[in-house]
């Protein structure tokens, strides 16, 4: 049997790193695309051959795509995201790549109430018309986004978000990665033409998240809803670009209306087991929430 080569884009990010872990030991050759050679250590430690290239510069991409059968396509949150997706698909077609598994977002649609959903809808449409076998994964709000609040939880026993009383079917990024691995390890025809909306097992308020963190940490944890302006100031203080802050605010406003209050059976269907619960996430990341030195990670929807 021919060993297939999988190219991982976004190779230093949360989901792609978890995907390389999920593919560890599988009969595939891992290849990672990194924009900054200085960040190649993590992918190399996971057994990936590393190529430097920038999805924003198509001239840098051919060496990484040569000899690849399967592409894991993750584009960062950016106004140029559809261009990056376009460049990756062009390089894939030129190199004879057979399949693309694309990470989209929950609710991606041309009428989505947030720019992230609308931009991803453009890229999803192009992927479907690319001529490649394709599968699209649309995950809900990442539980790992809560790690951005870990420093405050450790220091003050509170965390603040501009989500009011929103209820979300949030998902552990490790489950997203394991679903991607399952698709990549299956026959290329099995999930061709399918879009999977991935969620956790239940829809949660942030008060319920706080309660679960409190159980694990053995102390009271409280969720403090704040205004958009207050959250904007906090994120700006951490150096988050204004475009990202505005995008996150649009998601927050949509979630506040109930837009994210749902779950699906997609993870169970792909993995044959239920997705991780918030209790699992809290236990596995208890050390981060107990350490006041926790920092801010790149936020996402």
Q: Is residue 17 part of a domain?
A: yes
To the nearest 10°, the Cα dihedral for 100, 105, 106, 107?
A: -90
Whether 122 and 207 map to the same domain: the answer is no
Domain CATH for 153: 3.90.25.10
Name the more confident of 4 and 2: 4
| Residue 299 lies inside a defined structural domain of this protein | no
The answer to whether position 173 is within a domain reads no
Inter-residue contact 29 to 6 (CB < 8 Å): yes
Task: Clarify whether residues 40 and 129 are in a common domain.
Answer: yes
- Number of domains present in the structure of the chain: 2
What does the pLDDT read at residue 87?
98
Same domain, 41 and 120: yes
The answer to whether residue 109 scores a pLDDT higher than 80 is yes
For residues 269-281, average pLDDT: 98
Query: pTM, whole model, 2 decimals?
Result: 0.95
Q: How far apart are CA 23 and CA 293, in angstroms?
A: 31
Whose tokens are 């209306």? That residue is: 257
The confidence band for 292, taking pLDDT boundaries of 50, 70 and 90, is: low
298: pLDDT strictly greater than 70: no
What is the per-residue pLDDT across 57-76, written as a single tens digit (0 to 9) for each?
A: 999 999 999 999 999 999 99
Confirm whether 301 is domain-assigned: no
Chain mean pLDDT for the chain: 95
Name which of 50-54, 89-93, 295-299 the model is least confident about.
295-299
Residues 286, 200: Cα–Cα separation, whole Å: 19
Across residues 28-35, what is the average pLDDT? 96
């Amino acid at each position: 049997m021919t060993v297939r080569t999988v190219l991982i884009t976004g190779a230093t990010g949360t989901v792609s790193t978890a995907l390389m872990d999920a593919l560890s030991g599988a009969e595939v050759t891992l290849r990672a695309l990194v924009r900054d050679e200085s960040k190649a250590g993590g992918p190399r430690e996971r057994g990936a051959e590393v190529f430097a290239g920038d999805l924003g510069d198509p001239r840098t991409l051919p060496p990484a795509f040569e000899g690849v059968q399967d592409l894991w396509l993750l584009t960062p949150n950016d106004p140029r995201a559809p261009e990056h997706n376009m460049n990756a698909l062009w390089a894939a077609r030129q190199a004879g790549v057979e399949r693309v598994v694309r990470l989209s977002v929950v609710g991606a649609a041309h009428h989505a109430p947030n720019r992230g959903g609308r931009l991803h809808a453009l890229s999803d449409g192009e992927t479907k018309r690319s001529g490649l076998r394709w599968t699209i994964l649309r995950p809900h709000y990442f539980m790992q986004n809560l790690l951005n609040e870990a420093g405050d939880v450790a220091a003050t026993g509170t965390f603040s978000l501009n989500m009011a009383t929103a209820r979300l079917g949030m998902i552990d990024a490790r489950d997203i990665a394991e679903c991607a691995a399952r698709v990549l390890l299956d026959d290329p025809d099995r999930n061709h033409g399918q879009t999977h909306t991935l969620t956790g097992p239940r829809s949660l308020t942030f008060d319920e998240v706080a309660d679960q963190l409190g159980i694990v940490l053995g102390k009271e944890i409280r969720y403090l809803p704040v205004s958009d302006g207050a959250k904007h100031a906090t994120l700006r203080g951490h150096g988050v670009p204004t475009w990202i802050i505005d995008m996150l605010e649009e998601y927050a406003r949509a979630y506040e209306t109930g837009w994210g209050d749902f779950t699906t059976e997609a993870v169970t269907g792909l993995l044959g087991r239920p997705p991780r619960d918030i209790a699992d996430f809290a236990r596995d990341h208890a050390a981060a929430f107990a350490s006041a030195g926790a920092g801010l990670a790149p936020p996402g929807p």
